[in-house]
Amino acid sequence: MTTDAEIAVLEALAAQGESLEAKTAPPFRARLRLVDRKSRMLLLDRCADEAANTALLALPRAKLQIEWGEWRIAFVAGNPAPFPHEGTEAIRLDFPEAVQIGRRRIYPRTPGPQPPLRCVAQIGDAVVFEAEVSDLSMGGVGLEISFDADELEPGEVLTGCRLERPGGETVTVDLEVRHTTMDPNRHRVARVGCRFVHLSPAAMALIAGYVRA
C-alpha cells in the first residue's frame, strides 16, 4: 500500500510540474499534473505525441518513472483513461500500490564489458530469461533482454541470477529491478536496469575487474 510519505513525494513533484515517462512505444513523456488523495487518482497532462497517448491509454497498467536530480521515482499505476480537468483533457490513473524511490546510479559505469558477460535468471529448472550485459558497475547492471519485459516491475527482486563469462567463472547475484525500457529501434528488446542486492566476494572480484579495465 502506498505510504503517506510516498504520496507526499508525488504531491511535491506534481507541485513542481515535474515530467514523467511511461514505458510505451513511442515513449510517453508529460507533466504529472495532480495527485488527488481523496479520489486516489493521478492526473497527467497529455503527451505532445498523440501516438504515445494512444499507447498509454491502451495499457491496463502503466510503468512510470520520474528522474529528479540524483533520484529516480518509479511506480506502476493502473486503468489509464481520458479525464476532463480544468477545461482540458488529462489522463487519469489509479493510485500506485507502491512507489520505489532510490538514487540514480552513482558508481562509475563500464559500457559493453569485455570479455562479454551474460546474465541468466532461473526459477528451479526453468530459465526466466537470458540477457546480454550492456553495462556494469559495482552498484548494478544494465541488461538487454530479447523478450517483452512488461512482467518485470520496479522493486521486483530476482534471486540467484548467474553472471557468466564465456570460458570463465560464473558468479551468483541477486538483482532488484529498477526500471525497464523497450528499445524503439530493436523489436522485442528491452533494456532493464537492476541494482545488486548483495554481492559475494567472488562476484565483487569479477565486477571490480571489469570496472578497473
**DSSP string over 64-103:** EEEEETTEEEEEEEE--EEEEETTEEEEEEEPPS-EEEEE
Q: Which of 32, 28, 29 is nearest to 16 (CA)?
A: 32
Taking CB atoms within 8 Å and a gap of at least 24, the contacts of 46-52 are 46/89, 46/90, 46/91, 51/26, 52/22, 52/24, 52/26, 52/27, 52/28
pLDDT tens digits, one per residue of 154-204: 788 888 899 998 877 889 999 988 877 766 666 667 788 888 988 888 899
**Secondary structure (3-state) at 56:** helix
Enumerate helices (H) and strands (E) in the chain, giving the number of each: 3, 15
pLDDT at position 109: 76
Q: 125 and 66: one domain?
A: no
Residue 61 shares a structural domain with residue 133: no
Q: Are residues 202 and 118 in the same domain?
A: yes
Please answer whether residues 115 and 138 qualify as being in contact, where contact means their C-beta atoms are separated by less than 8 angstroms. no
Q: Residue 53: its pLDDT value, please?
A: 97
pLDDT tens digit string along 109-145?
Answer: 778 888 889 998 876 666 777 889 988 888 889 998 8
* Spatial separation of the C-alpha atoms in residues 202 and 65, rounded to whole Å: 33
The reply to whether 74 and 91 lie within a common domain is yes
More confident position, 57 or 211: 57
**9 and 97 in a common domain:** yes
Q: Using an 8 Å Cβ cutoff, are 104 and 97 in contact?
A: no
In the prediction, which pLDDT does 68 show?
81
- Can you give the pLDDT at residue 150? 55
Do 65 and 150 belong together in one domain? Answer: no
**pTM attached to this predicted model:** 0.55
Confidence at residue 148, expressed as pLDDT on a 0 to 100 scale:
57
| CATH at 158 | 2.40.10.220
Q: How do 170-182 and 190-198 pair as beta strands? A: antiparallel
Q: Which domain holds residue 19?
A: 4-103
pLDDT tens digits, residue range 76-121?
A: 999 999 999 999 999 999 999 888 887 665 667 778 888 889 998 8
CA separation for the pair 3, 187 (Å, rounded)? 37
The pLDDT tens digits of the residues spanning 12-51 come to 999 989 999 998 889 999 999 999 999 999 999 999 999 9
Q: Are residues 131 and 207 in the same domain?
A: yes
Residues 14 and 59 in one domain: yes
Q: Position of cell 567463472?
A: 169
* Alpha carbon distances (Å) from 43 to 12, 39, 141: 14, 11, 32
CATH code, 11: 2.30.110.10
- Grade residue 52 by pLDDT with cuts at 50, 70 and 90: very high
pLDDT, position 49:
95
Looking at residue 102, its pLDDT comes to 73
* Same domain membership, residue 208 and residue 115: yes
Domain count, the chain: 2
Both 88 and 129 in one domain: the answer is no
Q: State how far the Cα of 12 lies from the Cα of 8, in Å rounded to an integer.
A: 6
